Structure formats: C-alpha cells, structure tokens
Structure 1
Amino acid sequence: MRQPSPSARSDYLTALTLQIQKKLQRALDSKSQRVNLLQELFADIALEIDPRAQEILLGRDEDEIALADNSGRVLCFYEVLAEHYASNHENGKPVLDLIVLLWSQSFSSHIFALLFHKWLFENPVESYEGVLRYAAALVQGATNVFWIDVQTNARRFLSLFKYLLDEVALATLRLEKIPLQARRDLFLLLSRFLFFYGFVDRLQTFLSHFPVFPNAFLVGGPADLFVIELTDQVRKLKVEPVLLHYLYHMRALQGLELRMTTSTRMKSCLYSFTSPGGPMYPTRAVRHAAWEALDILFPVGRHLRLLISLFFRLLYPCYWPSSIWNFIVSCLEAIICTIQGLVSSTWIKLRKPKGK
C-alpha cells in the first residue's frame, strides 16, 4: 500500500477543518439559516469518503478502495476527523469552541458526538462542569445518530458505537473520565442499540461492566436494566427489517436471571407483536418472529399460548382468508420439502456402490 504524504494528509485535514469552521461561523451569524446550515454540516461529515480523498488520507489506490468497498467497509469523514482531533487537540479547538456557542441548537450534539467522541476520552478536560456538559452532549448526540441508522436500516455510525462499547464501556480507565451519571446514561444508551449493531456476543461482558444504579433495588440488576431498555426500544421500532432483526436476536436473552416484573414486561412486549390489527398492526413476518422469540424465551405454556392465539384470531374475520391461504401454502411447502428429502435420500442410496 502506498503511504500517504504526511504533508498532503495534514493539508487536507486542515482544509476540512477550515470548511467546518466556516459553516459553523455562518450558522452562528445567521439565525434564520442556523438549523439548515447545521443539518448540512452534519450530513457532510457523515458522508462516505470518496476514492480520491481516501487515496490522500489513507494512501489507498483505486483497486484497494474498490476491494474495500466490495467487502462492505464504509469509511466516513467523521471517523478520520475524530481520530485527527483526538491526537491533535489544538486543531479541533476552534471547531469545539464554535459548537459550544451553538450548544442549544439542533444537530449541535450530533456533530459533537461524531467529531469529538474520541477527544473526550483521550484528552484532559479542564473542569468537572465541562466534562459533565460534554458527556451529556455525547450521549444525546449518539442517541440521535444511532436512531438515524435505525430509521434507515443502515450501519453508517457503527464505528462510533463500537468505540463507545469497546474502548469506553468495556475499558475502565476511559469510562472513569466521565461522571457516574454519564456512565449510567451511556450504558443505557448502548443497551438500546447493542443488538442492532450486532454485538450480541458481547452481552455477558457488557452486563458484567454495568455501573451501579441507585434504583437497582426497585428495578433489579444489570440484566433487568438491559431488558427494560431493550423492550422500550423494540416497542418504538417502525422499520420492519430492523424489528425482525431485534426479535431474532432477543433469543440471546435466554437464561438471563430476571425479576418477575422484568420478565412480564418482556413477555408483554413480545405479545404485542403476535396479533394482527391495532395498535401495532404487525406484519405476518413480525408476528411469526415474535412467536418464535416467545417460544424460545418462555417455553412453558407454549401450547396454551397457541390456543389463546387461535381464539383471538377468530375475532378478526377479515384475516381468515389470508390465514387459510398461508396455512395451505405452508402445508404444501412442507410436503414438497419432505418429498424432495425422500427423493434425495433414495437417489443417494441407489448411487451408492454395492459392497460399501
């Protein structure tokens, strides 16, 4: 790989920083266009880096960039800038000062979370009030950008989530740089999106690092807090592929020791997606995914739930034709699969040489 010229890379990052400063200054000067300018800036820094810019910043040629793109790796401007500001704090200070002046505006926390999430944990902050303010803005901004990924069923901000999980939540030294309340808020935030970004295998490790909550005697331990946040998140989901993704990964909760109230809360959440009609109006795929999750997490009473479901199904006559049709199709598919299996096994036996 051809190494990028340090001076070319530095000049490019400096030019990017100046452009960010100009747009922030314009937003500060123009009250009527402030929200639009900040939204445009957020969109700019969240963009994928084009091949020409990658060649300058990373030293990749076009073939290597094409190979990276085929592997699904997307590198965005905020990733490079966040690393740059973490290692060169003085270069990012003018940008940070302008963001602070626009603190109460929409998209300010989004921009701060993307550009300064590494800086906050890898550079000393002068005052406790400053740390508290920056940590709160980070949690708020990260929440907003993660929801953008959820609404679009994308993973553009995966690197931000991965850093907050691996390098902060699971790294005691960095985590201790922010106040206790901010740590709690960060863990609750990560609980809501852990399954979405595909870190199901880190669940037990994540739970073992949970900070102590003052109301733990009321709501339970880390597992209870995690499930409470997760179920609240699932109820808010409106994008079917994302909801199916969550329902599938909820089977990872099997075996967790939960309080009765938490277990009932999770069961109620899953039940809400098993019936057609209001208020959820779940699709057939969602209903089946919810039933599968229920059967895995709560195997006791499975047949009784099926009978109750069939009874309530009778309350929706408009769904009877589709139910009968889907039942017939499912039976035909099962018969076809059985016949194919018999034919395949018979063919293998016939082709098997004698004496073996």
Structure 2
Amino acid sequence: MQKATVPRSSAYLTALSQEIERKLQKALNIPSHRLELLQQLFADIALEIDDRAREIILSKGEDADADEITESNLCFYDVLANHFLIKPENGQSILNLIVLLWSQSFASHIFALLFHKWLFEVPIENPEALLRYGSALVQGATNVFWIDIQTNSRRFLSLFRYLLEDVALVPTRLEKISLQARRDLFHLLSKFLFFYNFDHMLERFLKHFPIFTNTFLIGGPVDVFVIELTDQLQKLKVEPVLLHYLSSLRALQGLELRMTTSTRLKACLYSFTSPGGPMYPTRAVRHAAWGSLDLLFPVGQYPRHIISFFFRLLYPWYWPSTCWNLIKACITTILYSLLRLLFSSWERMTKSRND
C-alpha cells in the first residue's frame, strides 16, 4: 500500500516542478508579459495547499518533515523547497531560468521561497554562485516578509523560522554565504523577529550575532538589533502591525544600550506619541507608544507626559478630541469606582448577614 502512494506524490511534485519551469521559460521568451507571468507564478507557489493536494503531497513522508505535516497553513513553497532539497536535480533547470531572470521583479521572491533550504543544505562548489545566491536570498526574503507586513499575515512564517532557527543559529550553515550576506541576513531577521513572534528567542539570537568591523562605531549585537528595529518601526504604516511591534518592545526591557542607541529608540517612540506629522499615529498607537516608552524608560515619564500635554495646547484643532477623550476617561473611572464601591458594600452586607 505504501509503495503505491510513493509514485503518486512524486509524480505530483514533478508535475509542479515542470509547470514552474514552463512558466519561467514563457516569462523568458515573452518580455512584454514577463512581470505578469512572474507575479502569477509567485502567487501560485505562495498559495496555501488545499485538502486534495495535501492528501496527495503529504502521502509521502520523505518530501515533508513531521513538523510541516501538522501545520494547518502549509503552502506550496514549503513542500517544493523540501522536494528540491531531497532531489536537487529536479530544481536545477528552474534555478538556471531564475538566474537568467535575476533582474526581474519577483525573481528573487521565487528563488527565496523555492531554494532557501537547497542553498544551505546542498553542497555548492561555485563560490561566485554562492555569493549571488546569498544576496538573492536576502533580497527575496526581505520582499516576501514585507508582503506579510502589508497584509498583516504570517504566510511566510516557515521561511522566517528556517532562516532563524536552521541558519542564523547554526554556524556551519551560516558560513556558506558571504560575510556581507550574513550581515544582511541578521539585519533582516532583526527587523522581523518581533513580527513573527520570536521575541522569546531574542537572547539566543543575540548570542549568535556576528561581530562586524564597525562594531566600535555602532555598538554590539544589542545595539545593532535595536537600530534595525527602530528603522523598521519608522517604516510601518499598518496599524495592527505597528501595535504588535510596540507591544513586543517589552522584550527589550533590561538590555544595556549605548547612549546613542537608547536616544534613537526613545526619539522613535516619542514620535508616535503626538498626533499629526510626521507619523500621524492613531490614538491606539499613541497610547501603545506611551506604554512602551514608560516601560523602557521609566525615568522622567511624568515630566514627559506634562510636556506633551502642554505641546498639545499649541494645536487648537486637537482640543475637542482631547477634551472628549478626557471626559470619557473621567466618566469611565467614576463608573468603575462606583461599581467597585457597590460590590464591596454588597459583599460586606452579605458577610454580616451570614455572621
């Protein structure tokens, strides 16, 4: 019975590989439709596998590991990346076509999704090719992670997990790519570590951070991580994602930062506490930024709030909303106080009757 399922799964993955090769060849032959074809191919391999395809693909244990079998949101690129790792010859023609399309949009996206495991686990003898593949991987991973940011989804979580747990934390694999690619990879992981909810691995991640030549100027791993995180915060425009980042900043509590890095982070958070430009934060973002700012920098929090209040007085168009929110806060506080008083009185009366 098991032997009958092996060809079915293998044939399905081979057919998928041939279809990818066909679309890449078509994109290479038709320059006018190249962008559209590559975009469609990227969307296809990033799709979540439906139940019928899952039954066919995962019927063979060697093309998908046990962890991925249990994932409910398994995508086509997950199984294809494993397939090209186990059978590198099936992906060689696809790789050659991607190399010919390097300069095109979505080419690096497709390479990062399909060949991220192949790059680090299959021997590659050509050093020039390794240099090219390493930079393409970081570029492609950056692009797909930003797609997750913009859509507030975690479709490419498995790619991030692999780059973090199986590459960044494994020195033997990390050494396969160039020093510049390693630096870019750690910068990339620093930007998206909180987004993909790996803040619990921050300490391990920082211990494996490579030492760069400009450490004297910018600081150690913690400073580099916070600098990249600060730059990421200033680029975020999706409110739920920004709120998620701000709530995750509690993981930075207790870390020793350089004065310049600390000031940079403080200035970034402070820019989210005021309405209007340049960040134009919503009320929820402002409150989250104040919470993170007070948590990470408790010294001087009361003077900061007082100064912020007086600066708000310089913008009369914000007075109505400020007064309304203040009234709502006062009413809510009074209601909660009355409810607490009522319940405590009721408990005392009940207790006295029982006695």
Q: Same fold by TM-score, threshold 0.5 exceeded?
A: yes
Query: Counterparts of 1:158-169 in structure 2 under 5 Å?
Result: 158-169=157-168
How much does 1:72 deviate? 8.3
Secondary structure of 1:214's match? coil
Point out where structure 1 has 5 or more consecutive residues left out of the alignment: 61-67
Distance 1:27 1:206 in 2: 39
Match of 1:322?
Answer: 321
CA 1:350–1:116: 2 relative to 1, 3 Å: farther
CA 1:349–1:177: 2 relative to 1, 3 Å: farther
Match of 1:274?
Answer: 273
Query: Counterparts of 1:265-344 in structure 2 under 5 Å?
Result: 265-344=264-343
Match of 2:39?
Answer: 39
Q: How many residues align?
A: 347
Over aligned residue pairs, what C-alpha RMSD do you find? Answer: 2.2
How much does 1:103 deviate? 1.1
Match of 2:63?
Answer: none
Residue 101 of structure 2 contacts residue 107 of structure 2 at CA under 8 Å; is this kept in 1?
yes
Match of 1:25?
Answer: 25
Residue 4 of structure 1 contacts residue 57 of structure 1 at CA under 8 Å; is this kept in 2?
no
Query: Counterparts of 1:249-260 in structure 2 under 5 Å?
Result: 249-260=248-259
C-alpha deviations, 1:224-250, integer Å up to 9, x for none?
Answer: 000000000000000000011111111
Match of 1:104?
Answer: 103
Residue 8 of structure 1 aligns with an amino acid whose one-letter code is: R
TM-score normalised per structure 1: 0.93
Distance 1:333 1:103 in 2: 58
Distance 2:116 2:352 in 1: 65
Query: Counterparts of 1:225-240 in structure 2 under 5 Å?
Result: 225-240=224-239
Query: Counterparts of 1:1-356 in structure 2 under 5 Å?
Result: 5-59=5-59, 73-348=72-347
TM-score normalised per structure 2: 0.93
How much does 1:354 deviate? 7.7
Residue 267 of structure 2 aligns with an amino acid whose one-letter code is: S
Identity %: 66
C-alpha deviations, 1:3-30, integer Å up to 9, x for none?
Answer: 9911111011011001000000000001
Match of 1:63?
Answer: none
Residue 15 of structure 1 aligns with an amino acid whose one-letter code is: A
How much does 1:340 deviate? 3.0
How much does 1:311 deviate? 1.0
Distance 2:172 2:5 in 1: 34
CA 1:323–1:73: 2 relative to 1, 3 Å: farther
Q: Using the TM superposition, name which of 122-131 and 172-181 deviates more.
A: 172-181
How much does 1:327 deviate? 1.0
Distance 2:71 2:5 in 1: 26
Residue 40 of structure 1 aligns with an amino acid whose one-letter code is: Q
Distance 1:350 1:83 in 2: 68
Residue 111 of structure 1 contacts residue 141 of structure 1 at CA under 8 Å; is this kept in 2?
yes
How much does 1:36 deviate? 0.8
How much does 1:130 deviate? 0.9
